[in-house]
Every structure is written in C-alpha cells, then in structure tokens.
Structure 1
Amino acid sequence: MYKILIVEDDVTIAGILNENLRKWGFESDYVTDFSNVTAKFVEFNPHLVLMDISLPFYNGYYWCSEIRKSSKVPIVFISSNNTNMDIVMAINMGGDDFITKPFSLDIVVAKVQAILRRTYSYIGETKVLEHGGALLNLSEAALYYKENKIELTKNEFKILEVLLENKGNVVSRDMIMKKLWDSDSFIDDNTLTVNMNRLRKKLESYELMDYITTKKGLGYIINDH
C-alpha cells in the first residue's frame, strides 16, 4: 500500500484529502506540527508528499529543500499561489508537479496515481510486492527502499517473494526451502539459515531493521512495521 503524507495548513482541506486518499486505497496521514515537518516525514516514510506552499514557521519551498537533502520521494505542490513564478519556484526547489487550489479531488488522485506509477512501477504494469515502504519488483528481482535499489541474489529474491506473498502469515522453513530449490528432496537445513542471515544483514545495511522475524519452531514472517 502506497503511503501519502499531506503537508497542508488548512485542517479542513487536509482532512478531506486524507479521507479521499484512503477511500482510494492509499495509506495517508497529515502533518500537525509545522515546526518540524521533516520529523513527520522520517517517521511516516511516505512514497509521495502533497505539499502546500503557505505554511506556519517555514513555507513549503523550505520543507521541500529539506526533504530533498535525504530523499528523492515525489513531492506535489498544492497551492492557491498559482503565478508562473510560484510554479517555476516549486519545480526548481525539487517539486514533481503543481496542483492549483481550488482543486478537483479526482484530479489530485489521478496525478498521485500517475506519479506513483511512473516512480515505482518502472516497467508498465510490472508486478510489485510492497510492505513497510519497501517494494519488490518481480521482473527485476530487485528491492527498492527510499531512493535505493537493493540488488538481490537469486535465493534472497525468492525468500522475499514467498514471505511478501504470504505477509501476515508465518511461512514454514520447509515452504521456503521448496521455493528455493524446487524439490522435495532433503536440503541441509543450515543452508537456509545462512541465506536468511545474509539477507537480513543486507536489509539492515539499507536501514530495513527487523524486516523479517523468526518464529521459533514455526518459520519466518514479514514484520508488521
């Protein structure tokens, strides 16, 4: 599920956007402490930001430039300040699109969907498995997290694929081993442990901490971040 962060001073507009995005299947939230927008950005870890220009303390241009210091996540400006200079400034500061107030909710959703599709799907209708802000691209056998592309070995990809396909459920070691080696014949149990440990270390090096949890005697589960 894609996560959208709304940075909007008008509580009514923020609430309407939040409710509408959730109806369309997005996970969304909005900023309430405008003195530290980046703290909320880091905590929520969104796939896209809807950013007003006129905000308390610092304007949207400032927060866009702050986010750009650490992330390439798409930022869409929403503002009644709609002169050519405002639009040029928004794009120059790192914005990906500009929506003028008053706006149509359908237009907002359409633009959000289009930008997310361009940013995260990569190849047309490529199938992607997502959890905790990480996206597993099945055609590339690669994992995307924040602005990073994480290259995976064949076994690491298969482990993540079976775990993400069954997220919310414990996946037995036997099921994972059959996925890895496509065989009912005996495989050294320690081989799976070695592969799992390598995958965990790789994920942790990209700040995906405790992404996979061991259920002793049962198997593994994708952690509910």
Structure 2
Amino acid sequence: MIYKILIVEDDLTIASLVNENLKKWGFASDYVRDFNQVMAEFTKMQPHLVLLDISLPFFNGFYWCSEIRKLSKVPIIFLSSHTENLDIVMAMNMGGDDYITKPFSMDVVIVKLQAILRRTYTYYMENQNLEAGGMILNISDTTLTFENTNIELTKNEYKIIKLLMERKNTVVSREDIMTYLWDSDSFIDDNTLTVNINRLRKKLEEHGIRDIIQTKKGMGYLLHDERVF
C-alpha cells in the first residue's frame, strides 16, 4: 500500500522540496497551492497523513486542523516556525499528533511520519479499506466515499454496508445481518432490517449508486462489485 500525504505549507518552496523528498521515499504526496481550497484538496485526495503549517493565508493551521477533525481521524503533523509552548500545546489540543519546528531535517520528518503511520495503520492497509462498486469504506474512521464524496452513514447503515462489502458478490442471509447488527435474531422485528436496508439504498441512490444492493427473495441480500448506472 502506498501512503498518501497531503502537505499544507505556507512557503511553497518548502512544500515543493518536502513533496519531492516524500516521493523519493515512495509516498504519494502533493501540496496545497490554493489556500482557499484546503478542504477540497483534502476531500479529493483522502490522505493517510497531513503535514500542516500553522501560519497560513486566510485561516491558520489550527482552524484547518479542527475542520479536518470534523471529517476524519487522519494523523496530522504540524510543521511550524512557532516554538512557543503555548502553540505546541494548542496544536496537540486541536487534534495534532506531532509537532516539528522549523528549520527541520527531512530525516526527522520521515522518521516521525513513518512512526505515526505504523501506529495508525497497523498490519496491512488493505485490511483498513473495503472497496466495491466504486465505493471505498475506510474501516479506521468508518467513512464511506464515492467519487471523492463522503456519504454520511448511521451506525446500522455502516454495519450493513461493511458486512455486505466484506462478502461482496455473495448472498448474505437476513439472519446473518440481523445477528451482526443486534447480536441476536430472536427479538427483532423482521421489518426493522428491511427499513434499514431501504434507507441505505436510498442514500446510495442519492449519490448515483443504483441497484448495487440486490434482494434475493427467500435468501438475503447481495452487493455487486460493480457500478450500475
């Protein structure tokens, strides 16, 4: 798995140099050039880690850190010339995972970056994402994306899509789904599952994902690993 790194750095010369070094280490990295589009770039890239400066045009790094945290638990490393303890404490309190002061050594950046990636994405990244029909379900932060758009899911909707994606192209019985959702299939009204499935289908259809969950009468449900237009 190639890790994606997004660099949000005020000095574009530094951003470019960091970007080049990260690519030499095998990362898929890029940096923000339009600081009005930080969240758009984040949503488009869906990075595994963000390198974030504090002093930025328009809004500072603390602001963007809080905005990212509304959507994701992705690791954030602050890169800043601010050396005051108050800034470091604030960065950590806002959701940062580490703090590197400028001027910095790229060796230090790489070592810290690798350490955080190891801690965050244990074992294999393949096990952290499920893919089917153009959808990507990130197990680590429970987000479902389609064509770079996040689809908000309830707890039950997430569990249903996760189970169906894990067993894509295979019929999953209603009993299995109900047991997975409620740890029992004995005391749950059968219509409750139907309601949950229909709500999930409607939500997917609103994002252009049609007929991907099929009902197999008397058997259960099947999720196809292909897009249906």
TM-score bracket relative to the smaller structure = 0.5 to 0.7
1:135 Cα offset (Å): 3.0
- Supply the distance in 2 between the matched residues of 1:25 and 1:209 (Cα, whole angstroms): 34
- Supply the distance in 2 between the matched residues of 1:26 and 1:209 (Cα, whole angstroms): 31
- Supply the distance in 2 between the matched residues of 1:44 and 1:90 (Cα, whole angstroms): 23
Q: Structure 2 vs 1, CA of residues 105 and 221 (structure 1 numbering), >3 Å: closer, same or farther?
A: farther
Give the aligned partner of residue 142 of structure 2: 148
Alignment of 1:28-47 (within 5 A): 28-47=29-48
* Number of corresponding residues: 163
Give the aligned partner of residue 187 of structure 1: none
Give the aligned partner of residue 129 of structure 1: 126
Q: What is the TM-score of this pair, normalised by structure 2? A: 0.61
**Is the 1:51–1:76 Cα contact (8 Å) retained in structure 2?**
yes
Alignment of 1:18-29 (within 5 A): 18-29=19-30
Task: Please give the secondary structure, in 1, of the residue aligned with 2:71.
Answer: coil
Task: Please give the secondary structure, in 2, of the residue aligned with 1:73.
Answer: coil
1:209 Cα offset (Å): 8.4
- Supply the distance in 2 between the matched residues of 1:110 and 1:94 (Cα, whole angstroms): 20
The two structures, once aligned, show a CA RMSD in angstroms of 3.2
Q: Output the amino acid matched with 1:127.
A: Y
Q: Structure 2 vs 1, CA of residues 104 and 147 (structure 1 numbering), >3 Å: closer, same or farther?
A: same
Q: Output the amino acid matched with 1:148.
A: T
1:144 Cα offset (Å): 3.4
1:36 Cα offset (Å): 2.7
Task: Please give the secondary structure, in 2, of the residue aligned with 1:129.
Answer: helix
Q: Are residue 53 (structure 1) and residue 50 (structure 2) matched?
A: no
Identity %: 56
Give the aligned partner of residue 182 of structure 1: none
1:24 Cα offset (Å): 1.0
Alignment of 1:39-118 (within 5 A): 39-118=40-119
Q: Structure 2 vs 1, CA of residues 25 and 62 (structure 1 numbering), >3 Å: closer, same or farther?
A: same
Give the aligned partner of residue 185 of structure 1: none
Task: Please give the secondary structure, in 2, of the residue aligned with 1:86.
Answer: helix
1:129 Cα offset (Å): 2.0
1:157 Cα offset (Å): 3.8
- Supply the distance in 2 between the matched residues of 1:93 and 1:54 (Cα, whole angstroms): 15
Q: Deviations over 1:164-221 (max 9, x none)?
A: xxxxxxxxxxxxxxxxxxxxxxxxxxxx4646xx9xx89x96xx987xx9xxxxxx98
Structure 2 unaligned residues grouped into runs of 5+: 131-136, 144-157, 178-199, 213-223
Task: Please give the secondary structure, in 1, of the residue aligned with 2:57.
Answer: coil
- Supply the distance in 1 between the matched residues of 2:113 and 2:5 (Cα, whole angstroms): 9
